[in-house]
Amino acid sequence: MPKPKSQPEKDDKKKKTDSAGDDKELNSVGYVRPREISEEMKESYIDYAMSVIVSRALPDVRDGLKPVHRRILYAMGEEGLYYNARFRKSATVVGAVLGRYHPHSDAAVYDSLVRMAQDFSLRYMLVKGQGNFGCFTEDTKIRLCDGRNLSFKELIEEQKSGKRHWGFSLNYESKKIEIAEIEKARLTRKKEKILEITLDNGEKIRCTLDHRFMMRDGSYRCAEDLKTGDSLMPLYVKNYNGAEDLNLEGYEMAYQPIENDWDFIHRLSDDWNLKNGIYKAGERSASIPKIENVLNYFNDFSEMIEEAQSYNHKVARIKMLRKREDVYDITVEPWHNFALSAGVFVHNSIDADPPAAQRYTECRLSRAGQEMLRDINKDTVDFIDNYDATRKEPSVLPSPLPQLLLNGSLGIAVGMATSIPPHNLTEACDAAIYLIDNPEAATEDLFQFIKGPDFPTGGIIFNQKDIISAYAQGRGPILIRGKAEIVEEKNGGWKIIISEIPYQVNKSVLVTQIAKLIQDKKIKGVKDARDESDREGIRIVIELRKEAFPQKILNYLYKATDLQKKFHLNMLALVDGIQPKVLSLPEVLGYFLQHRQEVVLRRTKFDLARAKEREHILLGLAKCLAKIDQVIETIKKSKNRDDAKNNLKKKFKLTDIQAEAILETKLSALARLERQKIEEELKEIQAKITELSSVAKSPAKVKAVVKKELKELKETYPDARRTKIYIKKEKEISEEDLVPEEEVLITLTNKGYIKRVSPSSYKIQKRGGKGIAGIKTQDDDFVEHFFLANTLDKLLVFTDSGKVFAMSAYEVPSGTRISKGRALVNFMEISPDDKILAVLSLGKKDDSDNVKYLVMATKSGIIKRTALEEFRNLRSAGLIAIRLKKGDSLRSVEKTGGKSEIILVSKDAQSIRFKEEQIRPMQRGAAGNKGMRLKKDDEVIGMEIIGKEQLKDYILIVTGKGYGKRSGVSTYRQQSRSGTGIMTAKLTSKTGDLVKAEIVKGDEELIFISKKGQVLRTTAKEISALGRATQGVRIMRLDEGDKVVSLIKL
């Protein structure tokens, strides 16, 4: 039976055919390989993320640089742009970096180059740069709208004295000339190249090559790019001839060059005042006409056309001057242009302007930047292919400086970010040296050297304990505050001068924030705020009025602006050039030191190899020079150079290198002195070989070399710390820190409306007067509590239910003398059924006066003493202050020190005086003891505390119908608690019942307030001193149905 044919051969052929077909397809143009999109996206995203992390956003822990910065420095080294070389155009560097190493945007390269040249961005600049938007010489004059022409020098002098200036600026949106304030006249650059531009009107303008002039079409062109005949945007000013209104004859007018029209300058000033809130809408006079028709100023239309053509300044001549000069500029918001007295508009520099185009700026390496490249040609680092494999670039720089700490780094990668602050070079070097000797050192150990960040902009940082914690973990917040000083002026006013700002805060943004706070009236008492910063440093001046509270305003600036902000430390860097890792301070320095040890070792081996090569040559020279005659004879007998070389090798046993060196030796080397020099050089090179060999074999000696070089760098670049550090934590700025501390009168009505006003709102009057209106109340409402407090006091509000609530005095809404106030229920959880019976203020003065207790008296004569500590932490819902019996209510609460005397006064003119010690202290929830026995229908209307210093004072009593008197405290004999007391006044239907009692000396100012809101302010000495049993004199004349309800002693 035949066996079935096997199939493997056929299957193999099929597989080969399929495979060949696949290869054919793969080699075909346009072949698309099927692939899951999720896999493709995943791989592509990972590739992108790694590219951003490794090749763009994160620095290498070894040299502290990102690839773009490393490539810029290396390319500048290749170009020979060392710190002592001549400056070269930035465009040259950008082009070299782009073409050789960094195939990305030229803007990215130029921005990185600029940042390395900014002293406010880097603590130690790696690049030295020069050039930005141009400026003028100090004698250049600016046209002011007051008719004057002031030079930059004169502007600076006047602005330092506090004067303000306004000039002309072209609004490129409305196409009209406007009035604009001229600010920040300042020196910008020193010893600059100068161009002299002569206009067709004969005026000469001297400026830098890169200053921008406004062309007739509104565009800008740099001075060095101007050409003869170019038309510039003109400014013409003339006096009005009175053609339409003789009243306006002689008034100055400005020509609108785009509208071909004229405007009165004082009308332009009105527009500025309206826009800036100086005038309110409709305030300016409508009788001053705006001149709309240009024909009114010319005889006919043809003349107008002819004149209009001449309203145009042209460049007549451009000349480069040999002498370099210091140059100046100003700031003009918001259009950033201004008019020179020469009659043309020019650009001004803008705070936070981007740098000028790379074709205008120049650069070279700084000394610190050049240090980064030290020994790079000695095989100290690995080189890798550039992007197109046509050149080699360093994977890392030798970097003898701990660059990552010195200048820090900021960068946002994919899923991670780095934020490392700058540090002081001296401190970083000392810490690195310590770490070499103590490799197990912790962050706390290194902080005996590195105190914390050292920002290029200075400032103040707080809480070294938290800073150490952040550096130990590699991340954490650091609070930075600008440096501000409060200065008192001779006239009694105040100034806040800001001389340093937090790192990475844009000064112009900070000034804008301050201006907005002033404009929105968030801070009061500010007279003027201006930026006087110049090339010498930052100076922001805030002028305050005499009545202002400087510290409170400064506290508010810290809280509401970038004058105080947090720097969020995140020390993320690449380890070994590939692995992103959050590092502690010892780790950062440790990786740097490992890198330096490797660099020193590789340099040592390189130098050792070169030294041995030289030794080899010198040995051959020495051998041959000792037999110089034989050498010469051998060379003479040789057929050619190669024959001579071979003969020398055979006869004197030389190597190829040695024989070649002999043949290259000049005849002058045969002299005795030259032969001696070779012998001396040989000895030196052999000693060097011995030294280098010992270093190469000993890790300890490598570390010693690293230490030595760090010490040398520290001595070469000595630098004082700029950022001040406070060891203690800066407390959070609370609401109280923003409140001006001042005395206020607090008014609370029977229906619970509360407000605060200044005591100065009430003028002093004679007793017996009617007073002035003090508050607008409803018909059935009246003022019940009227007392003096400090804005930083805590107010304790006691209700008839025995509860106590708390609020700060500054939380009480400010009002006018006659305003109603706001309902107290807006500030605390008081039940509608609760009636407020007493309000007490507690403040700093009570601590200094040793106040320990609160004493409470009720309407029925109950008295209670409770320790003040039990009222420290009050809830918004309130706490029980005293347990009251049914029908009773709280009538008075006073503060005591524990050793005083107490006097209670009743409505029916009874009083009792006894020692405070007769009342034992009780807890808040207790009911109290009997303090005074009352007759039927009588009730306690007041309680006063008598201290030892008040025994010679008076007790002032006031009746409901405005009568009162003073009686000596000594006339009230001391009794035991819970008695009926003695008479304190003789009451009649004319006087009415007693309503108030107060201890006075006689020289105090008193404020009385009636139920209907009438207020009288007088002095205690105006009220007669009479005996206890008298009815008193009229204090306040009241309307029918009105009565006295409150008394306050100032």
Least Cα distance to 317 among 206, 208, 198 occurs for 198
CA-to-CA distance for 262 and 297, rounded, in angstroms? 9
* Structure token pair of residue 127: 């690049």
The answer to whether 578 touches 54, Cβ cutoff 8 Å, is yes
Handedness of CA 91, 94, 100, 104 (dihedral sign): negative
Handedness of CA 564, 570, 576, 577 (dihedral sign): negative
Helical spans, DSSP H, in 905-1015: none
CA-to-CA distance for 958 and 1009, rounded, in angstroms? 11
The answer to whether 725 touches 464, Cβ cutoff 8 Å, is yes
The answer to whether 371 touches 716, Cβ cutoff 8 Å, is no
Angle subtended at Cα 21 by Cα 15 and Cα 25, rounded to the nearest 5 degrees: 145
Give counts: helices (H), strands (E), the chain: 22, 56
Least Cα distance to 117 among 67, 169, 150, 76 occurs for 76
State in Å, rounded, how far the first CA of the chain is from the last one: 134
* Structure token pair of residue 982: 């003695």
Q: How many residues does the chain have?
A: 1050
- Return phi, psi of residue 694, to 5°: -65, -35
Angle subtended at Cα 45 by Cα 42 and Cα 51, rounded to the nearest 5 degrees: 140
Helical spans, DSSP H, in 665-791: 672-697, 699-716
The answer to whether 93 touches 362, Cβ cutoff 8 Å, is no
Largest CA distance in the chain: 154
Specify burial of residue 275 (Cβ count, 10 A radius: 0-12, 13-18, 19+): exposed
Residues pairing with 794 in the sheet: 808, 842
Least Cα distance to 905 among 895, 892, 920 occurs for 892
Catalytic site includes residue 591? no
CA-to-CA distance for 27 and 13, rounded, in angstroms? 21
Angle subtended at Cα 312 by Cα 306 and Cα 315, rounded to the nearest 5 degrees: 130
CA-to-CA distance for 333 and 351, rounded, in angstroms? 10
The answer to whether 310 touches 199, Cβ cutoff 8 Å, is no
At 485, which amino acid appears?
E
CA-to-CA distance for 902 and 842, rounded, in angstroms? 19
Helical spans, DSSP H, in 297-380: 301-310, 367-371
Q: Which of 74, 110, 240, 360 is catalytic?
A: 360
Specify burial of residue 249 (Cβ count, 10 A radius: 0-12, 13-18, 19+): exposed
Least Cα distance to 462 among 473, 471, 451 occurs for 451
CA-to-CA distance for 22 and 11, rounded, in angstroms? 16
CA-to-CA distance for 200 and 206, rounded, in angstroms? 15
Specify burial of residue 542 (Cβ count, 10 A radius: 0-12, 13-18, 19+): buried
CA-to-CA distance for 138 and 325, rounded, in angstroms? 9
Angle subtended at Cα 642 by Cα 637 and Cα 644, rounded to the nearest 5 degrees: 30
- Return phi, psi of residue 683, to 5°: -65, -45
Q: How many CB atoms lie within 10 A of CB 438?
A: 12
CA-to-CA distance for 1025 and 967, rounded, in angstroms? 6
| Residues labelled as active-site residues | 360
